[in-house]
Amino acid sequence: MKTGVTLSPGHLYSGMKQLFFLLFAFIQTSRAQTIIKPGDPGIHYEWLTNDHDFYKVIVFDSTGRKKLEIMNEQVQTIDSAKHTILSARIRQVPFGRQMIDTSICTATLTPIRMHEYDQPKTFEHDFHFAGTKAYIKDLKKGMLSIDTFNMTEGYFDENSIEGFLAVIPFEKGREYRLNSFRIGQPGKINSYDIEYVFDDTWGLPGDNDLNCNVLRFKNAYSSGYIWIDRRKHKMVKEYIRMDSGDKVLVVER
């Protein structure tokens, strides 16, 4: 005598549902983040060059009203003799003030020093990095504070990290994380979660096309998209959604 089991539609649905969740869990596990650190051999350090750029920055509030518009002038200098990279930025901010910040890192992007101040002077930050130690001098309203923080190795300088994304060979379908020293909250790490999501092409005068890789990012206080020029290996546009509700558009001029 033969015996058998007949599965009801309910049992079949339950089994398929369990299979779906197992498959989903496998896909999520297979998309584990790749951690990128200064010195990683996969980074194209040879793509970094001397550069002088201007970026227009427009800030909108949560309703879409334009709050301010400024110009960033940025310089990147490669010192082959010292094996260092200098990144400097100056920007005019309302009303009649200037912000100046300078970052120095090794040729493999390990932070060495970051200096930031405004004119007329109301504050000054001076950061020195040495492996697992960060030494900070902070001057605000005439009051000087000096601190030392313990850090985990493998972090970038937050002020220059976005400029270095263009030399990292991101692949579609993978998720990445880059940790940076958080300037606004010294001693804390600001993690950038990044994914290469799509390609974009801009038509330029003279029948030229600008082909870009578009990265989606999220960090401790914002999220958005970054457009990378594939040929020149540099950022040409950034759209930022701040957690405060403000939106920021950065475009190379």
Q: What is the set of domains in the chain, with CATH numbers?
A: 34-252 (2.50.20)
pLDDT at residue 173, as a whole number: 92
**Residue 29 reports pLDDT greater than 60:** no
Average pLDDT for 11-36: 56
> What is the C-alpha radius of gyration for the chain, rounded to an integer number of angstroms?
23
Residues linked to residue 192 through DSSP beta bridges, in sequence order: 178
Highest mean pLDDT among 4-8, 141-145, 165-169: 165-169
Residue 253: pLDDT above 80?
A: no
Total Cβ atoms within 10 A of residue 155: 23
Amino acid at 62: S
- Give the mean pLDDT of 66-74: 91
- At 246, list the tokens: 């403000």
Pairing mode, strands 189-204 and 175-181: antiparallel
Task: Name the pLDDT band for 13 (thresholds 50, 70, 90).
Answer: very low
Per-residue pLDDT of 78-128, as tens digits, reads 999 999 999 999 988 777 789 999 999 999 999 999 999 998 888 899 999
The residue among 44, 55, 178, 190 whose CA lies nearest residue 107 is 44
Q: What is the pTM of this model?
A: 0.82
- Whether residue 227 contacts residue 236, with contact meaning beta carbons closer than 8 Å, is answered with yes
Q: Do residues 159 and 107 touch, judged by C-beta distance below 8 A?
A: no
Mean pLDDT of the chain: 86
